[in-house]
Amino acid sequence: MSQSRVRIAIVGGSGYTGGELIRLLLFHPLVEITQVASESRAGHFVHSAHPNLRKISTLRFCHPDDLTSCDVLFLCLPHGASQQAIERYRALAPHIIDLSGDFRLRSPELYRQWYGHAHSVPELLPQAIYGLPELHRAELREASLVSGTGCMATASILGLSPLYRAGVVDYGTPVVVEAKVGSSATGAKAGPASHHPDRSGVVRSYEPTGHRHSAELIQELGLFDESRDASRNDSATRQRVAFSATAVELVRGILVTAHVFLRERLDERALWRIYREAYQHEPFIRLVKERNGVYRYPEPKILAGSNYCDVGFELDVEQQRVVVISALDNLMKGAAGNGVQDLNCIFGWDETLGLTFPGLHPA
C-alpha cells in the first residue's frame, strides 16, 4: 500500500460497530487499517467475529496493550471505557474518533444528570467535537477528539434541526419524539432482552422516559435557540424534549416520529423551503415525501448498509403540528458510517469516500 495512506487503528473491533467500521475502511481508497484490537479475540482472524469479511481481509485482532502509533484511532468500546483510558489513547494518535457515548455532551453537569455519575475527565468534554457533519462540519476540520453520536439522537436531530434553525418552533410546547430501533443497537453482547424467544416479534417500549439520547437533542437543538446563554458549554435549550424508545423486530434500523408545534402558521410550501434550504447540499440526507406508493415516507428497511438518513414530514394544518419522520441504519449513519464521514471531514476529503453503498431493495 502507498505510504501516503492514512494509518487507522480500531479499538473494540469485535463488536457490531467495529465490524462495520472495518468493512467500510477496507474499501476506503485513502486509508490503511494497521491494527484492530480486541481483548477477547486477540490472535484470531478478524473474520472470526465478522464472517462477512472472509477472503476480504487477513487481519488478525491484536490485544489493546499491543497498539502502536497511528494517524487516527477509532474507539468502539462500551460506555465508560474510553474516558478511563483516553490519555493513553491520545498518546497513540493525533486524532481520536470515539464512537461510544463518553464525549457526546459538552457539559459535565449535563453528563452527570443523564449518565448518573461524574465524568472521569470533565475537562475534555468542552474540547470534543460532536461528530455530526451536518451541524459541525467546520469544527471537524480542526478536531483532535471527535465524539460519535447516538443513533436515535442522530435520526432525531437530523429530522428536527431544520425547523429549529429556521426559528419556527414553539418552545412553549414539548417536542415529542418516539424512536423505534432494531436489535443491533444493543450491541453484540447477548442479554435477557436479546434472547430470541423474548426479542422476536416484539414492539416493546423499553425506555418511555429518561433515555440518554434526550440529552443530545437538548444540547444540539439548543445551538439554534437564540435565548440560550452562549457562554455556557451545555448549549441547553428552552425546549423540553419528551423522548421515548421502543424496540421492534428489526436487526438494523431506526424510525423516528417526532411531533413539533409551530410558533406561527406555515403551509406545506414553506416547510418544503425550510428543508430544501437546509439539506440541498448534504450528500447523505434525502427528503422523502411522496404522494403515492409504499415508500412515500422514510423507511429504515431500504437503508440497511447505507449512510443515508431519509427525512420526511407531514403538516397538521389545524393544530400547526409538524410530524417529522426520519430513518437510518443505526450501525451506519448512526455509528460507523457517520464515523467514517467524520474522518473524511477531518482530512478535507470528499465526504462520500467509502460510503457510497446505496442499500438494498428488496431486502
151 is catalytic: yes
**d(C-alpha 217, C-alpha 54), whole Å:** 39
- H or E segment at 324? strand 321-328
Rounded to the nearest angstrom, the gap between the alpha carbon of residue 321 and the centroid of all alpha carbons in its chain is 26
CB 70 within 8 A of CB 35: yes
Going through 70-112 in order, the beta strands assigned E by DSSP cover 72-75, 95-98
Q: Select which of 62, 70, 76, 151 is catalytic.
A: 151
Residue 259 backbone phi and psi in degrees, to 5: -115, 115
Q: Who's near 329: CB < 8 A, 6+ residues apart?
A: 252, 253, 254, 300, 303, 304, 305, 306, 307, 337, 359
**d(C-alpha 122, C-alpha 120), whole Å:** 6
Instruction: Give the angle 93-15-207 at the CA atoms, nearest 5°.
Output: 110
Question: Which residue numbers are catalytic?
Answer: 151
